[in-house]
A and B are shown apart, each in its own frame.
Chain A
Amino acid sequence: MPSKTLGESLFERGVSRRGFLKYCTALASIMALPPTAASAIAAALEKAKKPSVIWLEFQACTGCTESLTRSHAPTLEDLIFDSISLDSHDTLQAAAGHGAEQAREQAMKDNWGNYLLLVDGSVPLGNPGFSTIGGVSNLEMLQETAKGAAAVIAIGTCAAYGGLPKASPNPTGAVAVSDVIKDKPVINIPGCPPVPVVITGVLAHYLTFGTIPELDLHGRPLAFYGQSIHDRCYRRPFYEKGRFAESFDDEGAKEGWCLYKLGCKGPITYNACATVKWNDGVSFPIESGHPCLGCSEPDFWDKGSFYQALAQGQWGSAAGLGTAAAVGIAAGAGAALLARRKQHQAREEQP
């Protein structure tokens, strides 16, 4: 059955051109494109075909799926039914057990070479038994499913960088999707969880333009991860003036001053929270008075306390310093004594 283009199916559902344009404006907004891109999106979408999507869940907490189902614009239903064909999702689909596996295999066969593979969760390399689906290890399933994929999208910090499972001491030997898949484009959508609109935005980009968006050095789409939280933070004017909250309930906190001293990682964190925001655009952590944890950056769990300011060093202990001082004193005294002895000898040798 030749699948219809998105434009055709919307049209058949009685969606007017105005409605379609509005939808495209919303898409431009969530793709972080200028509003003028709406007409280009409309033109592309009219020709776009629904891509098949397979979603695999490995060592994950399902938070990313939870996040996606709270994506407000367009609603998940719109996205799934209008834009993509989600052929297999371990959590969302009704089928379970072997039925679920069959759905995945069928989708792979039907769309070989063209489907999108979405992954959340990290892949344990330590022992294949740490995480399995239907007796198949995560590693094996990822490798097998990725073979026929057009591209792989790693959703959430666990899939993108290993995340919590990989945090020291990494008991399962967890790695990121990109550590396993080397021969396919991998798009990382990190965040713990990622901003829902960013997930749909990246899918929308692929659907609209059929291409992989431009990525940064950590494999993240620049459209969403091109600027740091700090670059887009409304508290930035306070940072510039050096007005900082010193604790969570002091005058500065009440005045809405910058949270740098409370450990804000905004300056080194690249994500869309500051503009796209959370919960249907209501607010984001900094707006609610809590510093950014840096959840979209590699190894953010292992960067010391969330409440330690960026300007502070992270070092083990002062013991090393004591030893250094003691050794230094000993070396200095030794050198001086040696010099004295030499001087002494020289004097004795003088006639």
Chain B
Amino acid sequence: MSKLDGIKVRVEDPTTPHWVTENTRPLLHEIHHALQRLLEAGEVKTIDLASLPMGPADEARLLEILGVGEVEACIDAMGKSVIRETRFPGVWFIEHFNTDDQPMGRLIDITFIPTLLLSQTEDMRQGLAQLSLYLQTDDAA
């Protein structure tokens, strides 16, 4: 028997702390304000969750409050990205992963549609060139 067995260890469930902080409230206010600005002046806003103080249960609580809306999109570019509209239209939750599927960032976008969902001009040009090439070779054949 090793000496370490003498140390009593009690495992508590880490996923559900029975206490909550009030850290989500100011953030919800910020989102509220941004949504107002979006409607009134068309101003878009992005909030980086990595820049905010968040306790263990805070983020889960925030996501619970934001809920799930009508749109969910998945992007596969340099790793996965999941873009979800929350139950408040105009408020989007975005999660980026790298090629190893490790989280790279979590953002809240307050916008009509997240820019990343739009096709990008550079990509479109490249696609156009490829399509032209295809048509050319097809015609030639």
Contact = CB atoms under 8 A, between A and B. Distances in A.
Complex contact flag A–B (Cβ < 8 Å):
yes
Contact of B105 (A17, A25, A34, A287): A25
Contact of A235 (B46, B55, B98, B123): B55
22 contacts: A16-B120, A17-B122, A18-B77, A20-B78, A22-B79, A22-B96, A25-B107, A29-B48, A29-B105, A29-B107, A34-B46, A72-B102, A73-B103, A75-B98, A75-B100, A75-B102, A235-B21, A237-B22, A256-B17, A256-B56, A281-B103, A287-B56
Contact of A22 (B21, B47, B55, B81): B81
A216 interface: no
Given A16-B77, A26-B105, A256-B55, A281 B23 contact: no
Nearest to A78: B98
A26 B96 contact: yes
Contacts of B77: 15-16, 18-19, 22
Nearest to B115: A21
Contacts, number: 105
A35 interface: yes
Contacts of B102: 72-73, 75, 280
A210 B79 CA distance: 27
B116 interface: yes
B95 to A, nearest CB: 11
Contact of A72 (B47, B103, B120): B103
Interface in B33-72: 46-48, 50-56, 58
A interface, how many residues as a size bin?
35 or more
Interface of A: 15-23, 25-26, 28-30, 32, 34-36, 72-75, 78, 232-238, 255-256, 274-276, 280-281, 283, 287
Nearest to A36: B46
A15 B54 contact: no
Contacts of B120: 16-18, 21
Contacts of A15: 77-78
A202 to B, nearest CB: 16
A74 B98 contact: yes
B96 to A, nearest CB: 6
A276 B49 CA distance: 9
Nearest to A249: B10
B75 interface: yes
A256 B51 contact: no
Contact of A74 (B48, B104, B121): B104
Contacts of A22: 75, 77-79, 81, 96, 104, 116
Nearest to B123: A17
B104 A274 contact: no
Contacts of A276: 50
Given A35-B48, A75-B102, A275-B52, 15 more contacts: A22-B78, A22-B96, A25-B105, A25-B107, A29-B51, A72-B103, A78-B98, A237-B21, A237-B23, A255-B19, A256-B17, A256-B55, A275-B53, A276-B50, A281-B103
Which 6 residue pairs across A and B have the least CB separation, nearest first?
A19-B77, A19-B78, A17-B120, A234-B55, A35-B46, A73-B104
Contacts of B56: 256, 283, 287
A70 to B, nearest CB: 11
Interface string B98-139: 111011110100000001100011110000000000000000
